[in-house]
Structure 1
Amino acid sequence: MDPAQALIRTTLNPTARIAPGLAGRAAFELFRRPLRRSRVRPAEREVHRRAALERLTVHGKSVVGYRWGSGERPVLLLHGWRSRASRFAPFVPRLRALGLSAVAFDAPGHGDSGGRSTSVLEYRELVLRLQDRYGPFEAVIAHSLGVCAAFGALGDGLRAGRLAAVSGVSEVGFFPAAFCAGLGLDAAVERALRGRIEQDLFAGDAGAWDRYDAAGRAGAVGLPILVLHDEGDDVVPLGQAHRLKRAYGEQLDLVVTRGLGHRRIIGEPTVVDQVIGFISAGLGVTAA
C-alpha cells in the first residue's frame, strides 16, 4: 500500500472507534476531492482545441464548458472521476458527421475547472443548466461517475433520446464503499463517512441514497439504454452493469468487453463504433 494510504488507514480506523464524527469529517474531505487532475492527452489536443468554451458556475466554483457545433441537436458527454471532457475526443467528429453538436464540461476539481471537489449533485445541477441552454438532448454518453449522475438527472428532469453508459456506477452508495475498501478503512469509518455524506451532501435526506440508485428508479427512466462494461474492470465491477440489466430488462442492451479495463474502454474504437451506431439508430440514419 502507498505510504500515504497506509497513514490514512492507521489514523482513521482507530479514530472512528473513539470519535466517529471526527473520522467521518476527515474521510469526507478526502472522499470528495479527486486529488489530481487529468491533462489533455496528445491524441485529444486537436479536438479539444476546436471546442467553443463557455463558463458556468456551481456552488461558487467556476466550471469550463465545451461545445463542438452550434448547439443544435446536442449530445451530452459526462466524464468520470479524475477524468475530463477531452476523453470523449474520439466521439466528437463522429457525432458532428451525424449533424449533432457535442456538449460537455469539466466537473469542479477536474480538468480546467475551478474548485477542489465535486459530487453527483453538482453534475446534476450543471446538466440541467445545460439543458436550459440547449434544449433536450438527442443522447447522453457517460463514463463511470458520469453514468450515476446521468441516471440521477434523468430521473429529475433531464430529457434525452438515448443513454450510452460506459463502465458505469449504478448507485451512489457504491462510492463510499469503494473508497473505504480501496484505502483499507473498516466498517466504522464507512458508517461515519455515509453519515457525513448524508448530512453535508444530502442535507440530512436519507432518501437521497435511493433517489440516486439507478436500478431502483427504472420506472422514471424510459429511454433506450446501451451499457458497455469490461469484465476485468478493477475500478467499477461488472456487477454494477448486471445490476442495471436486471432492473431495466429489454430496455437495456449490455455489451461486455474484455481486456479494456475501466479507462481505456472509453476511447477504444470498437466501443466508439458501438456507441455511435446506437445513437444513429435513434436518429434513423446509418453511422459514418
Structure 2
Amino acid sequence: MKKTLQKLLPLAYGGFFNSLSYIAQPWVVQKAFTLFVSPRKGKILPHQQAFLQKATAELVEIEGLAIQTYTWPGTGPTVLLFHGWESNAFRWRKLIEVLRPLNYHIIALDAPAHGASSGKVLHVPLYQKIAAGLMERFRPQFAVGHSMGGMMLLYHQHLGGTESLKGLVVLGAPADLNNIMKQYKSILKLNKKVFNGLDELFKSDFNFRIDDFSVAEFSKSYTIPGLLVHDKKDLIVPYSSAEKIARNWKTAELITTEGHGHSLHQKEINEAIGRFMTKIN
C-alpha cells in the first residue's frame, strides 16, 4: 500500500499542475519549482546524534539562514565537506574516521533545509552561496562534495572558485541540470506548458536556462586538481555523468568503482581521498 501511494502521489501532483497550467501558469510553475527544491528527509536522526555531538558545533548565518557546522580540529589543512540531497553531515562519518589520523582540520555542514540548519528549500545556486560564505570564513585547502554537493562545487568553481582551494573531490555528481529536470518531468508527467514555465523561471531567477547548466561543460576551463569518484552501477546518478565531466576536466583523475552504489562510503574510496589530498598538499 505504501509503495502504491508513493507512485500515485507524484502523478497526483503532476495532474494537478497540468490541469491548472492553462489558467494559472505562473502560480503552477512556482508550486512545481517549490516541490522540486523541497526535501522530504535529511534531518538528524537519533542514531546520528552521538557521532555529531563529538564535534564542535557552530551556527553560521549566511543568506539569512542558520547553517549548522561541525568541526573536528586538526593542525593540518582545512577540508570542507558538502553532502547531497536529503542527507546531512553524518554521511561523512567514515571519511572523517580516515582523515582525522592524518590531522586534517575537518568541517562538515548541514545544508539549508537539512540536518540542524534552517530553511525549507535547497537548490544548487543557494547551496553555492552557502558554500561561498563558508569558504570565505574558513579558507579551506580542500572541498569534498557528494552528489548535489559535488555538482555545487563544480558550479562554484565555474563562478570563480575560492583562492585558498588546492583541490576538489567530487563523488557521484550529476553532470547536467537537463537530465535532472527531464527525470522530474517524467515522474510527475508534467506537460510542456509547466516544463517550459520552469525553464523561464530558471532564467529569470538564476540567469540560466535548464539546457545551459552543465558542470561537464563548465569543467572545460578548470585547472584545479580534482578527484572524481563514480560507481558504474549508480542507480541515482548514471556513470555517464562522471565520464562527461572527466572528459572535460583535464586536471582531474576519475576513479571508477563497481558495486559501491551512489553513497560511496567504502574505506578504499575514503583512503583514496586521503591520498589525493596528501599528494597535493
Which of the five TM-score ranges fits, normalised by the shorter chain? 0.7 to 0.9
Deviates more, 1:73-82 or 1:269-278: 269-278
Deviation readout 1:217-248 (Å, 9 max, x if unpaired): 23542112111111222221111111101212
Q: Tell me which residue corresponds to 1:153.
A: 156
- 1:272 alignment counterpart: 270
Q: Please, what TM-score do these two structures have when normalized by structure 2?
A: 0.87
Name the residue aligned to 2:222.
221
Aligned to 2:29: 24
Q: 2:91 aligns with which of 87, 92, 105?
A: 87
Which runs of at least 4 in structure 1 moved beyond 6 Å after TM superposition? Answer: none
Deviation at 1:165, TM superposition (A): 0.8
Q: Is the 8 A contact 2:44 2:115 kept in 1?
A: yes
Q: Structure 2: where are the runs of 5+ without partners?
A: 1-5
- Distance of 1:71 and 1:117 partners within structure 2: 35
CA-atom RMSD in angstroms:
2.4
Instruction: Give the whole-Å Cα distance in 2 for the aligned partners of 1:170 and 1:103.
Output: 25
- The number of residues matched between the two structures is 274
SS of residue matched to 2:180: helix
Shift of 1:70: 5.3
Between 1:169-178 and 1:102-111, the stretch displaced more is: 169-178
* Match in the other structure for 2:232: 231
Give the TM-score of the pair, scaled to structure 1.
Answer: 0.85
Distance change (3 Å), C-alpha of 1:40 and 1:256: farther
Measured after TM superposition, the shift of residue 167 of structure 1 is 0.5
Q: Residue 3 of structure 2 aligns with which residue? A: none
CA distance in 2, matches of 1:104, 1:198: 31
**In structure 1, what is the Cα distance between the partners aligned to 2:66 and 2:28?**
30
Match of 1:48 among 52, 67, 73: 52
Instruction: Tell me the distance in 2 between the aligned counterparts of 1:93 and 1:125.
Output: 28
Partner of 2:79: 75
When residues 41 and 139 of structure 1 are mapped into structure 2, their CA distance, relative to the original with a 3 A threshold, is farther
Q: Which whole-Å deviations, capped at 9, do the CAs of 1:156-208 have from their partners, x for residues lacking one?
A: 232311111111022344432332233333444322222223323x1xx2379
Q: Unaligned 5+ residue runs, structure 1?
A: 284-288
Shift of 1:19: 4.4
Secondary structure of the residue that 1:76 maps to in structure 2? strand
Question: Is residue 168 of structure 1 aligned with residue 182 of structure 2?
Answer: no
- The alpha-carbon deviation at position 59 of structure 1 amounts to 3.3
2: CA distance, partners of 1:183 / 1:228: 30
SS at match of 1:75: strand
Q: Is the 8 A contact 1:176 1:194 kept in 2?
A: no
**Whole-Å Cα distance in 2 between the matches of residues 99 and 151 of structure 1?**
26
CA separation of 1:24 and 1:91: change in aligned 2, threshold 3 A: same
Match of 1:247, as an amino acid? N
Q: Secondary structure at the match of 2:145?
A: strand
Residue type at the aligned position of 1:91: L
Deviation at 1:102, TM superposition (A): 0.9
1:67-216 equivalences under 5 Å are 67-69=71-73, 73-135=77-139, 137-155=140-158, 156-159=160-163, 160-200=165-205, 202=206, 205-206=207-208, 210=212, 212-216=213-217
SS at match of 1:2: helix
In structure 2, the residue matched to 1:286 is none
